[in-house]
A and B are shown apart, each in its own frame.
Chain A
Amino acid sequence: MSTTNILEARNIVKFFHDPVTMPVLKSINFSIQKGDFVSVTGKSGCGKSTLLYILSTMDTDYEGDLIIDGESMKNRKEVELARVRNEKIGFVFQFHYLLNEFSVLKNVMLPGLKMGKYSDKEVEHRAMEKLKILGIADEALKKPNQLSGGQKQRVAIARAMINDPIIIMGDEPTGNLDKKNSLIVFDVFKELAHNYQQSLLIVTHDPDFAKSTDRIIEMEDGRII
């Protein structure tokens, strides 16, 4: 196992100010190495989702430092953070958030086109590859609203993978799915972690899901226990 930290949280503290100021996260320290398959668990309201959004650079209102791929994310401009999200982080939400105006293929391609590293043709080819890995290549030209819930979530995972991010983060990615589809999505994550050495950080309250990951970070009341 490589020892390079791809993501490191140093002393992260966060307060909610509305309606009264109260701490949500209290001095969070941990790191993730390449290829780790990590789950974050804990009761509702323990701050696990809040932590995830800070780690994803979308929430910038915190104290402490966040290091992604050796670079500090503190005091960066909005444009720079957007670029980091685009190139280094893939995100899968509880809800799929696909754009119904675009085809499945185009939805997967969008972050790749935004990165602008490859030509349109290459991005399309890469998007098809990802869809093949996830077993939904046949649905590429359909609109998202013609797909089942499990299929949509797999498209969202393909979209998260398109720019070969150093880490994929998930916020309850199976939360909206039935048992069968949850298993499919879980198998996809496991396959990515083991066959493609993809680092994964998944927030979940499903103990079965958490148990089968490589490492569990358990949180309670804003702390890691």
Chain B
Amino acid sequence: MTKSRLIYTIAAYLLKARWRQTLVAAVGVTFGITMFITLLSFMSGLNDMLDGLILNRTPHIKLYNEIKASEIQPVDKSSDYQSGYNFIQSVKPSLSKLELHNSGAIMSALKSDSRVVGFAPKITAQVFYNVGAIDLTGVINGIDVEAENKLFFFKDYVTKGNYYDLKNIPNSIILGKGAADKMLANIGDVIQVTTARGDRMQLKVVGYFQSGLADLDKVQSYASIATTQKLLAKPNSYITDIQIKLKDIDMAPPVAREFARLFDADAEDIQTANSQFETGSSVRTTISYAVGVTLLIVAGFGIYNILNMMIYEKMDSIAILKATGFSGKDVKKIFVSIALSIGIFGGLLGLGFGFLLSATIDAIPFNTASLPTIKTYPINYNPQFYLVGIIFSLVTTYLAGLFPARKASKIDPVVIIRGK
């Protein structure tokens, strides 16, 4: 018999002799790991859902022209006024266009850029929805239906009607659910919109759009690029935004700066636009980890207590093992392996129960008007949680076992034997 196998045999016998307490200790670990897995899966599922709500539909980089005053004013260019600092009051932006210059060339450059997964051109048009005598403000997004669906899952948010009709039916519109409710517009109805310049146009409603953000749905609607260009009376090269998705989201800020310089346009990256979401996610994840680790530490104290008790009970056995030639190291190994086997057994069971509990939560219906794509509570079955869970359970039980084991290894057999 190899040395370690002998150690394990002795550990197993000691475990069996006290199997009830050991079971209680293992149940503690199981409970801790179960809750740890469930909590993390649930929390991370929620995080993903909430992030997806915004991030899925937010381009990694948005190219557009911002209306702003020029940073270089004529006085700065004059050689006569270079010596002082020039104060200019009430600077106004000059007549600049929202249109992206040279959009065709930008798009063909993006197509050949290997960092870019895809891009979707867009036109934003300020309009009024005419409802009888009342005008409601609104925004019509002119989109490339296919590109928008591929990159931003447009289809998922069209709750009624077929999203593809936007492309097939000329002069069609998909209304935000909130806007449609206000206008009492059903699918198939024709509504009238007025542009900021006063042009009027009749549009046929082919679907409802529900983003999950009610405020947005009261205002936003979608039409095809061609329809929007017609609405604004612009040529078919007119594009106001290009939304870009990158292969690596973390590359967005530097690439955005590069594109801004290269295409002479404004570029906004997703990190700048939505920094608050990442903060929220990381705080929620940290809380779940903290709760999980706390549960495990409590379980660890349970193991510590039980091993301490076992050592007091088995003082004689430890003394005789040492008297017959087992070293302090061997004794330590025996008790550490008892602790670790509680950790492995309780931990694996906890992973199993954690999975089952997550699956149960995953099956609970969760219907909310604002989240049309969600039917049940979201769960993230990330294998990483399971890995972290089992590592945590091993580390805690190891530490919980280490101190009693060290005490056992230091027991002086002479004191025990002569004390009788």
Query: What residues make up the interface of A, taking CB atoms closer than 8 Å to B?
Result: 49, 53, 56, 58-59, 78-79, 82-83, 85-87, 91, 93-95, 97-102, 110-111, 113-116, 119-120, 123, 159, 163, 171
Q: Which of A82, A97, A99 contacts B325 (CB 8 A)?
A: A82
Q: Write the B393-420 contact mask toward A (1 if CB under 8 angstroms, else 0).
A: 0000000000000000000111001101
Min C-beta distance of A124 to chain B, whole Å: 10
Interface pick from B93-101, B316-324, B340-348: B316-324
* Inter-chain pairs besides A97-B317, A116-B2, A116-B6, 15 sampled, C-beta below 8 Å: A53-B418, A58-B322, A82-B328, A82-B330, A83-B327, A85-B323, A91-B323, A93-B420, A97-B316, A101-B317, A102-B13, A111-B324, A113-B6, A114-B3, A119-B1
CA distance A116 to B1 in the complex (A): 7
B196 touches A (CB below 8 Å):
no
- Least CB separation from A49: chain B residue: B418
A83:B319 contact, CB within 8 angstroms: no
With A101-B14, A101-B16, A120-B1 in contact, do A115 and B414 touch (Cβ < 8 Å)?
no
Chain B residues 283-323 with CB under 8 Å of chain A are 316-317, 319-323
In the bound complex, residues from chain B placing their C-beta under 8 Å from that of A98 are 320
B329 touches A (CB below 8 Å):
yes
A111:B3 contact, CB within 8 angstroms: no
Query: Could you show 9 A-B contacts with beta carbons less than 8 Å apart?
Result: A53-B418, A79-B329, A82-B327, A85-B325, A93-B417, A110-B10, A114-B3, A114-B325, A120-B1
A113:B1 contact, CB within 8 angstroms: yes
CA distance A82 to B413 in the complex (A): 12
With A102-B13, A113-B6 in contact, do A86 and B417 touch (Cβ < 8 Å)?
no
B326 touches A (CB below 8 Å):
yes
Min C-beta distance of A201 to chain B, whole Å: 15
CA distance A119 to B5 in the complex (A): 13
B374 touches A (CB below 8 Å):
no
Chain B count of residues within 8 A CB distance of the other chain:
29
In the bound complex, residues from chain A placing their C-beta under 8 Å from that of B16 are 101
Total number of residue pairs linking A and B with CB closer than 8 Å: 82
Q: Which of A59, A79, A113 contacts B414 (CB 8 A)?
A: A59
A99:B317 contact, CB within 8 angstroms: yes
In the bound complex, residues from chain A placing their C-beta under 8 Å from that of B327 are 78-79, 82-83
When A and B form their complex, which 6 residue pairs have the shortest distance between CB atoms, in order from nearest? A86-B325, A82-B327, A97-B320, A111-B324, A101-B13, A101-B17
A83:B320 contact, CB within 8 angstroms: no
CA distance A87 to B317 in the complex (A): 19
CA distance A87 to B327 in the complex (A): 13
A99:B323 contact, CB within 8 angstroms: no
In the bound complex, residues from chain A placing their C-beta under 8 Å from that of B321 are 110
CA distance A18 to B396 in the complex (A): 39
In the bound complex, residues from chain B placing their C-beta under 8 Å from that of A111 are 324-325
A86:B324 contact, CB within 8 angstroms: yes
In the bound complex, residues from chain B placing their C-beta under 8 Å from that of A110 are 6, 10, 321, 324
A114:B420 contact, CB within 8 angstroms: no
CA distance A95 to B14 in the complex (A): 21
A83:B325 contact, CB within 8 angstroms: yes
Pick the most buried of A78, A82, A111, A115: most chain B CB atoms within 10 A of its CB.
Answer: A82
Min C-beta distance of A49 to chain B, whole Å: 7
CA distance A85 to B330 in the complex (A): 14
A91:B1 contact, CB within 8 angstroms: no
Pick the most buried of B3, B16, B324, B330: most chain A CB atoms within 10 A of its CB.
Answer: B324
Min C-beta distance of B309 to chain A, whole Å: 16
In the bound complex, residues from chain B placing their C-beta under 8 Å from that of A100 are 17
A91:B324 contact, CB within 8 angstroms: yes
Min C-beta distance of A176 to chain B, whole Å: 9
Q: Which of A82, A86, A97 contacts B319 (CB 8 A)?
A: A97
Min C-beta distance of A31 to chain B, whole Å: 23
CA distance A159 to B320 in the complex (A): 11
With A49-B418, A101-B16 in contact, do A58 and B324 touch (Cβ < 8 Å)?
no
CA distance A115 to B324 in the complex (A): 10
CA distance A154 to B300 in the complex (A): 42
B420:A58 contact, CB within 8 angstroms: no
A58:B414 contact, CB within 8 angstroms: yes
- Least CB separation from A118: chain B residue: B1
- Least CB separation from B13: chain A residue: A101
CA distance A126 to B322 in the complex (A): 22
CA distance A99 to B328 in the complex (A): 18
CA distance A59 to B319 in the complex (A): 13
B418:A85 contact, CB within 8 angstroms: no
In the bound complex, residues from chain A placing their C-beta under 8 Å from that of B317 are 97, 99, 101
In the bound complex, residues from chain A placing their C-beta under 8 Å from that of B418 are 49, 53
- Least CB separation from A111: chain B residue: B324
Min C-beta distance of A42 to chain B, whole Å: 16
- Least CB separation from A82: chain B residue: B327
Q: Which of B10, B17, B326 contacts A82 (CB 8 A)?
A: B326
In the bound complex, residues from chain A placing their C-beta under 8 Å from that of B412 are 58
A99:B320 contact, CB within 8 angstroms: yes
A87:B320 contact, CB within 8 angstroms: no
